[in-house]
A = this chain, B = another copy of it.
């Protein structure tokens, strides 16, 4: 049995980033600490700095590591709208699983994973026949919407202890909306019921579809392509 004894692996950027992702997942955004991380890796805090420049670089790398495989595989045969929905849902689901990504994507603009997502969306926008000048705007609108939803989901996740029942949370929130002043918040009171019963993921997709419909409207060929 002595031969199966746990071997000490050498420290590496890869191991550090993996451990950071685990720590963020179990302990939340506040849980990633150089002390906690080095304890987990059985080393001193200073050792990490040999492989990673600082905490921000570590967060960027952790986000990229998670997002890299999350945006789905390109299937050239897909209709462009469906390919866009796939990418969007990939980001949505990744943030749902790792809420700290949502915060990080809203913090670091040059995040490489973001560039790749933007490229994927843009190629499909192009395939949709959107006129040249409107392509940049259309792809940006989609990306910004996706990031906005991600940020809000991350914020919601942060207020709840991890693993809180989502139904209970929505019920509480919905009840609070119903108690708002009817003169000041008639609309919100009105949709409070929809908040309780709504499906986050479906609503996210509906928003994507709203933007896609707006984009189809730009297309000189109209929206009845193929």
Contacts and interface: CB of A to CB of B under 8 A. Distances in A.
Q: How large is the interface on A (under 10, 10 to 19, 20 to 34, 35 or more residues)?
A: 35 or more
Interface in A152-178: 152, 154-156, 158-159
Contacts of A203: 136-137, 140
A119 B152 contact: no
A144 B149 contact: yes
A154 B213 CA distance: 28
A39 interface: no
Contacts of A184: 119
A151 B147 contact: yes
Interface string A125-156: 11000000111111111011111110110111
Given A159-B109, A187-B119, A214-B214, A207 B137 contact: yes
A207 B141 contact: yes
A217 B212 CA distance: 11
Interface in A197-214: 198, 203, 206-207, 209-214
Q: How many copies does the complex hold?
A: 2
A118 interface: yes
A186 to B, nearest CB: 7
A108 B152 CA distance: 8
Nearest to A188: B119
A198 B136 contact: yes
A192 B206 CA distance: 30
Nearest to A156: B109
A41 to B, nearest CB: 28
Contacts of A134: 206
Contact of A137 (B145, B156, B180, B206): B206
Contact of A136 (B123, B146, B195): B195
Contacts of A126: 187, 190
B115 A185 contact: yes
Contacts of A195: 136
Contacts of A110: 159
Contact of A148 (B107, B135, B147, B190): B147
